[in-house]
Amino acid sequence: MVNISKFRLAIDLMSNIILFDKNEQIVYAGIEIVNSLEKSGINLSELKFSKKTEGTVRKQLIDEIKKVRNNQIPVCFRFDNIKSDFYIFPSNLDNSDYIALSTRRKINQINKIEHDLTERVKELECLYNISHEIEVSKNPDTIINNITYHLRQGFQFPEITTVYFQIKGTKYGNGSCDSVTAARTLTENIYLNKKIIGNIKVCYNKNEKFLKEEKQLLKEISGKISRAIEKYRKTRHLEKQRKILLLKNRKLIKLTEECNERKESLRIFFNAITDIIIVIDSDMNIIMSNNETIGNVGKCYKKIFNKDDVCENCPSIYTFKKGKPRLLETKHGEKSYLLHSNPIFNNKGIVNRVLEVCHDTTKEKQMEFQLIQSNKLASLGKLVAGIAHEINNPNTFILGNIKIIKEAFTDILPILDQYYHENDELKIARLNYSLFKENIEVLMEDMENGAQRMKKIVEDLRNFAKKDDGSMEDLVEINTVIKNSLRLVSNQIKRNAELKLELSNKIPQFVGNNQKLEQVVVNMALNALQALGNKKGLIKISSEYNKIDKEIVVKISDNGIGIDNESCQYIFDPFFTTKRNYGGTGLGLSICYKIIKEHHGRIEVESKVNEGTTFKLILPVNK
């Protein structure tokens, strides 16, 4: 059941109000104000609408209501026959034109309640802010300096309030209360261990009285400050005791540190070694390791090599049996290791522990393999250059001789025509003369064109294989670079793939190194070909110029097997390859990346597994 007393104030307020609408008609009248008016001889009907208003009570009231409606300012009103004052004020309900009438006594009562609530809120805020300052500040001087403002704001009239602290001869605050009369001053003592060490004074600079609640507020605050000072003193005392204990324990700590220093040095040295170091017992259980992943428990073969049984030719078994060190190279999966076992003897001279060092030699083996491959490639380059030179010499003889033979046939054919006219059964190279004459010129043209192609291929091979001085002084036409590169690999591509070129004609020249860029295009084209595998696929090479960014974009695409996301992160790393079993060295894309970087460009990759790959070579023309 709802307790009606909770709503007593609202009911009391509504009982003491009369509301008038914009036509000055009464729309609501509270029972209390109606009874009060009737007791004074004014009936509610006299305030209602009437054609005759001259000299009536309603006339007086309406005139005042209109003033309030026009000015939106409350006025005090008194009926002729009533000593009590009334307030007429705009109600502002939903921006309406309602005007309210109520007794001055009731309005003052409501205002007092509102004022009291406001003051209580100020006091609560003051207490909260001061409690917060005490909580976050550690020094009493800092606390007192910070709470002066908050304390002043907690009183009725902050603008005329002076707060003054005095603790053990030290003064704090925004002024002094010495010249203010005792009637306008509040004082509360500050204690430490039940002894007065100072006080708080609050005074008004004008003739105002303090509220009972304000006196209680000051008492509460003085208690908080006393407790804060006492806590600070206890904390300082504890701090002094702590320093004494620390001083006494310093020698003990120093001794402990010296004992642990050697142990820690050994541990740091042990953990700093990048190789895996373990100490194992005769059952292959790990007792100690320098690797957090391996830890200090478990079987060594399980933790290091993820095997379920002891490794074949385990060097530790030999060391346990013979008491001698042993070195062993082994391979587990794709990784290579060098294992070195060393005996640890007990007091009786028996091997009860073995220290085993496991060194991962995978990268070293890969680099060794790559160096061999690089030497092979260097030898192959020299061999290609030599073969090109050897082919070029006889090809030069062929080109020169074909020209002489063509001139000779120009002179011989009229003689042969005359002879054929007399002997119509003439055959040359087992062909009828007419068929021979028809095809001999075509054969010589084919021979000359073939020799010219050989000459061009040899020149391209020699240019590709010649030593590069690394200068960036060539005037580069990217389309020419692409075409020159493709002449070297076009036969390989055409045997296994369809080659599609889309080269833009409006591409500016830029300064760079033609030979290095040709090397990039050759590598990229061969990679695209290898990505197709055994299937007949498509290789597309395009060029375009981005005018906005002033960049040349060369795209080399294939519809091959693609590259997975994990491999995409490492394809430009030296010696990384997914084709090691097929002769891949892992250097091609790394070299391409370096060359494009030298041209202040970048390489972007877009790839989907089983759909294909696109490499974008982006070269700025303004660098």
Instruction: Please give the pLDDT value at position 330.
Output: 83
Query: For 325-377, how does the pLDDT look when each residue is reduced to its tens digit (9 = 90+)?
Result: 988 888 887 788 888 899 989 888 888 888 888 888 877 777 766 665 555 55
CA atoms within 13 A on the CB side of 563: 23
Q: Give the list of residues 6+ apart from residue 432 with CB closer than 8 angstroms, or none.
A: 426
Q: Is the pLDDT of residue 464 over 60?
A: no
First to last CA, the chain: 86
At residue 620 the predicted structure's pLDDT band, cuts being 50, 70 and 90, is: very high
At residue 229 the predicted structure's pLDDT band, cuts being 50, 70 and 90, is: confident
At residue 2 the predicted structure's pLDDT band, cuts being 50, 70 and 90, is: low
Instruction: Please give the pLDDT value at position 582.
Output: 45
Q: Are 488 and 579 in contact (CB under 8 A)?
A: no
In terms of pLDDT, which residue wins out, 373 or 20?
20
Q: Is 201 helix (H, G, I), strand (E, B) or coil?
A: strand
Instruction: Please give the pLDDT value at position 558.
Output: 92
Q: Are 120 and 112 in contact (CB under 8 A)?
A: no
- Among 55-59, 144-148, 194-198, the least confident range: 55-59
In terms of pLDDT, which residue wins out, 79 or 459?
79
Residue 292 to residue 298: CA distance in whole angstroms: 13
Query: For 508-520, how does the pLDDT look when each residue is reduced to its tens digit (9 = 90+)?
Result: 999 998 888 988 8
Q: What average pLDDT does range 134-139 have in this prediction? A: 71
E strand or H helix at 24: none
Q: What average pLDDT does range 378-399 have in this prediction? A: 69
Q: Is the pLDDT of residue 493 over 70?
A: yes
Q: What average pLDDT does range 427-452 have in this prediction? A: 79
At residue 257 the predicted structure's pLDDT band, cuts being 50, 70 and 90, is: confident
Q: What average pLDDT does range 594-598 have in this prediction? A: 89
Q: What average pLDDT does range 571-595 have in this prediction? A: 68
pTM greater than the 0.85 cutoff = no
- What mean pLDDT value characterizes the chain? 79
Instruction: Please give the pLDDT value at position 373.
Output: 59
Q: What average pLDDT does range 271-294 have in this prediction? A: 83
Structure tokens at 322: 């013979």
Q: What average pLDDT does range 317-323 have in this prediction? A: 87
DSSP assignments along 370-433, one per residue? HHHHHHHHHHHHHHHHHHHHHHHHHHHHHHHHHHHHHHHHHHHHHHHHHHHHH-TT-EETTEEH
Single out the residue of 85, 200, 90, 79 nearest to residue 151, CA to CA: 200
Q: Where are the alpha helices (DSSP H) in 177-313?
A: 212-272, 300-305
Instruction: Please give the pLDDT value at position 33.
Output: 82
DSSP assignments along 93-159, one per residue? STT---EEEEEHHHHHHHHHHHHHHHHHHHHHHHHHHHHHHHHH--SHHHHHHHHHHHHHHTSS-GG
Residue type present at position 117: L
Cα-trace Rg, the chain? 53
Percent of the chain surpassing pLDDT 70: 84
> 316: how many CB neighbours lie within 10 A of its CB?
26
DSSP assignments along 31-73, one per residue? HHHHHHHHHTT--GGGGS--S--TTSHHHHHHHHHHHHHHH--
Q: What average pLDDT does range 530-537 have in this prediction? A: 84
Q: Output DSSP code: residue 469.
A: -
Q: Is the pLDDT of residue 7 over 70?
A: no
In terms of pLDDT, which residue wins out, 46 or 77?
77
- Among 215-229, 382-396, 402-416, 441-455, the least confident range: 382-396
